[in-house]
Amino acid sequence: MRFLWGALAAFSALSLTAAAPGAAHPAGNFSYNRHQFLLDGEPYQIIGGQMDPQRIPPEFWSHRLKMARAMGLNTIFSYLYWNLHEPRSGTWDFSGRNDVASFFRLAQAEGLKVVLRPGPYICGERDWGGFPAWLSQVPGMAVRQDNSPFLNAAGAYLDKLGKELGGLQVTHGGPILMTQLENEYGSFGTDKTYLSKLAAALRRNFDVPLYTNDGGGKSYLEGGQLHGVLAVIDGDSQSGFAARDKYVTDPTSLGPQLNGEYYITWIDQWGSDYGHQQISGSTDAISKAVADLDWTLAGNYSFSIYMFHGGTNFGFENGGMRDDGPLAAVTTSYDYGAPLDESGRPTDLYHALREMISKYVPAGSIPEIPAMPALAAVPEFALTPAAALFDVDGARTAARVEADPVSMDALGQSYGYVLYEHTVAADVAGKLAIGDGARDRAIVYVNGARVGVVDTIYTTPATVSITLKKGDTLQILVENLGRVDVRQRLKEQVKGIVGNVSVGCSLLTSWASRSIPLATLPSKLGAGHKVKQNDSPVFYTGSFDLPKGAAAGDPSSDTFISVPGGVKGVLWVNGVNLGRYWTIGPQQSLYVPGSMLKASKNEVVLLELEPQPDVKLTAEGIAERKWFNNADPDAPK
| Residues taking part in catalysis | 184, 261
Give the Cα separation of 508 and 553 in Å (integer). 52
Q: Are strands 538-544 and 384-388 parallel, antiparallel or unpaired?
A: antiparallel
Neighbours of 620 (CB within 10 A): 17
Q: Are 334 and 311 in contact (CB under 8 A)?
A: yes
User: How deeply is 91 buried, as exposed, middle or buried, from its count of CB atoms within 10 A (0-12, 13-18, 19+)?
Assistant: exposed
**For residue 433, what are the β-bridge partners?**
502
Neighbours of 94 (CB within 10 A): 17
Q: What single DSSP character describes residue 475?
A: E
Preceding peptide of 321 cis, ω within 30°: no
Give the Cα separation of 93 and 95 in Å (integer). 6
Give the Cα separation of 420 and 404 in Å (integer). 10
For residue 193, give the 3-state DSSP assignment: helix
For residue 148, give the 3-state DSSP assignment: helix
Give the Cα separation of 105 and 288 in Å (integer). 34
Give the Cα separation of 428 and 426 in Å (integer). 6
Neighbours of 469 (CB within 10 A): 12
Q: Where are the alpha helices (DSSP H) in 225-334?
A: 237-247, 283-298
In order of 185, 275, 279, 348, 390, the CA distances from 587 in angstroms are 31, 9, 16, 21, 28
E strand map for 346-397:
378-382, 384-388
Q: What single DSSP character describes residue 119?
A: -
For residue 134, give the 3-state DSSP assignment: helix
Nearest to 53 by CA among 108, 96, 11: 96
In order of 89, 232, 444, 484, the CA distances from 609 in angstroms are 31, 45, 12, 23
Nearest to 298 by CA among 217, 232, 241, 215: 241
Give the Cα separation of 103 and 57 in Å (integer). 11
Neighbours of 380 (CB within 10 A): 11
Tell me the longest C-alpha to C-alpha distance in the chain: 81
Nearest to 115 by CA among 19, 47, 217, 162: 47
Neighbours of 190 (CB within 10 A): 13
Instruction: Categorise residue 201: left if φ over 0, alpha if ψ from -120 to 50, beta otherwise.
Output: alpha
